[in-house]
Amino acid sequence: MPIKMLLNKGKVPVKIYTDDVDSRSLDQLTNIAQLPFIHSHIAAMPDVHLGIGATIGSVIPTKGAIIPSAVGVDIGCGMAATRLSIKADQLPDNLKSIRLAIEKAIPVGFNMHKSIHAKNSTIIALNKVLEEKILTKHTAIIKMMKKPHRTWTQQLGTLGGGNHFIEVCLDEAQNVWIMLHSGSRGIGNVIGRYFISLAKKDMEKHTIQLPSRDLAYFTEGAEYFVDYMDAVHWAQEYALFNRREMMRLILDALRKPLPNFEVTKETITCHHNYVAIENHFGEQVYLTRKGAIRAGKDELGIIPGSMGVKSYIVRGKGNPESFCSCSHGAGRKMSRSAAKKQFNTDDMLEQTLGVECRKDKGVIDEIPGAYKDIDQVMKNQSDLVEIVHTLKQVVCVKG
């Protein structure tokens, strides 16, 4: 479907691919559109909802400046999915053994591995950039994290918390898929918070008036601009390697509870909280996707629904109005606190029927009812992507 709403209250328009958007998110989008360096327009995806700093589900092209809070603190957060050579009827009758195998292999929440699992070449490459381009210039990051080298190396290959997950899914042909959602863990969070704070201080120092303090930015040539770009690109690489390492550990862990299998295609991966240098409408811009994935012509991407519903493998259509982007998921329709007040464990049991997962009060805030209807989200972006595979979760491990 085409653009459903056009917001014209800022210096540039906001093109919105849904009419299901609350007033606070509209205000937040208007604030971003007030900034003087936004190029052409802002695009808001059909899963758009209120965020911290910038609206989740927004695609923001900027000229000569970057907004750290628009990228956020889970820098490089994104998805990975791979298809196995086995079918649904080859899965064990009791799927709990699969969930337990994954939980044993992958630490969740704040936990990390007890030792380093990743390849030494990966550790060396990432560590060199982190030390030379970031930590030597910004020793405050070391103080914030206390033991950054130990933390990032032992968190490599771990899930994190919140809405991060690992799932076993079935597609329309009953093929088995492994899908996961995670980001740059503790080190990405510290990098994000540190540079957001620096941007705010920089705005105060230059007495720059902002529509919202959370929209503090660095301009090209500013003291911390290059350092931030180096740091954010490092965290994006770390998040990518984190997902690759998790996928490797999961596949190894599933060799025991599953019959012999092979990976049938290269793993699909995509960031959905990141910044990239791209060309749009005749200009090179810093394109920030906050809760959105790249959907260039024929590019494959992953759009997850909530636990217990369905997810999609999609092929991008390269729509220029969305800056070759699409939604990163279903999108929340209520806050975590609101979900905990409205739903209980009986609701969780009902809404995750047929899915092997935690169903206790600790995951109530991730209940499917707290999210938008993924089917409607997909209808609203039919101009942006086409569906390649529809995946149904049968096992879900939440962070």
Distances (CA, A) of 47 to 8, 192, 260, 267: 20, 23, 38, 24
Identify whether 272 is a catalytic site residue. Answer: no
Average pLDDT, integer, range 101-116: 95
- How many whole angstroms separate alpha carbon 18 and alpha carbon 160? 30
State whether 281 and 355 are in the same domain: no
pLDDT in tens, 222-262: 999 999 999 999 999 999 999 999 999 999 999 999 999 99
Do 215 and 343 belong together in one domain? no
122 confidence band (pLDDT: 50, 70, 90): confident
pLDDT on residue 190: 97
Nearest to 389 by CA among 310, 327, 326: 310
How does the average pLDDT of the chain come out, rounded? 95
Please state, in angstroms and rounded to a whole number, the distance separating the CA atoms of residues 373 and 380.
Answer: 11
How many angstroms separate the CA atoms of 306 and 310, rounded? 7
Amino acid, single-letter form, for residue 361: K
pTM assigned to the model: 0.95
Angstrom distance (rounded) from CA 212 to CA 271: 26
What's the pLDDT score for residue 62? 98
Please give the average per-residue pLDDT across 71-81, as a whole number.
97
Residue 261 and residue 357 in one domain: no
Tell me: do 149 and 119 sit in the same domain: yes
Tell me which residue range forms the domain holding 145.
5-333+371-398
Both 29 and 163 in a single domain?
yes
- For residues 377 and 362, state if they share a domain: no
| Whether the predicted pLDDT of 129 surpasses 90 | yes
| Shared domain check, 86 and 15 | yes
Residue 387 has pLDDT above 70, yes or no: yes
Q: What is the pLDDT of residue 2?
A: 78
CATH number of residue 274's parent domain: 3.90.1860.10
Spatial contact of 322 and 57, defined as CB atoms under 8 Å apart: no
Q: Check if the beta carbon of residue 270 is closer than 8 Å to that of residue 181.
A: no
Q: Are 298 and 387 in contact (CB under 8 A)?
A: no
Share above pLDDT 90 across residues of the chain, in percent, rounded to a whole number: 93
Confidence label for 1 from pLDDT (cuts 50, 70 and 90): low
Average pLDDT over residues 174-193: 97
pLDDT of 264: 95
362, 298: one domain: no
Shared-domain flag, residues 339 and 326: no
Is the domain of 353 the same as that of 290?
no
As a whole number of Å, the end-to-end CA separation of the chain is: 34
CA 21 to chain centroid: 20
pLDDT-based confidence at 389, cuts 50/70/90?
very high
Distance, in Å, from the CA atom of 298 to the CA atom of 354, rounded to the nearest integer, reads 33
Position 273 scores a pLDDT of 97
> Of 49-53, 61-65, 275-279, where does mean pLDDT reach its minimum?
49-53
Strand partners, 263: 84
Instruction: Tell me how long the chain is.
Output: 399
Same domain assignment for residues 192 and 82: yes
| AA letter at 75 | I
Total number of domains in the chain = 2
Structure confidence at residue 116 (pLDDT)? 86
Tokens for 280, please give them. Answer: 């749009």
Q: Encode pLDDT of 271-294 as tens digits.
A: 999 999 999 999 999 999 999 999
Distance CA(399)–CA(397), nearest Å, equals 7
User: Are the CB atoms for 30 and 9 separated by under 8 Å?
Assistant: yes
Helices 225-253, 185-205: inter-axial angle, 10-degree rounding = 160
Contacts of 377 (CB under 8 A, 6+ apart): 18, 46, 47, 303, 327, 329, 330, 331
Taking only the tens place, the pLDDT of each residue in 141-159 is 999 998 999 999 999 999 9
Residues 220 and 353 in one domain: no
The catalytic position among 49, 181, 328, 389 is 328
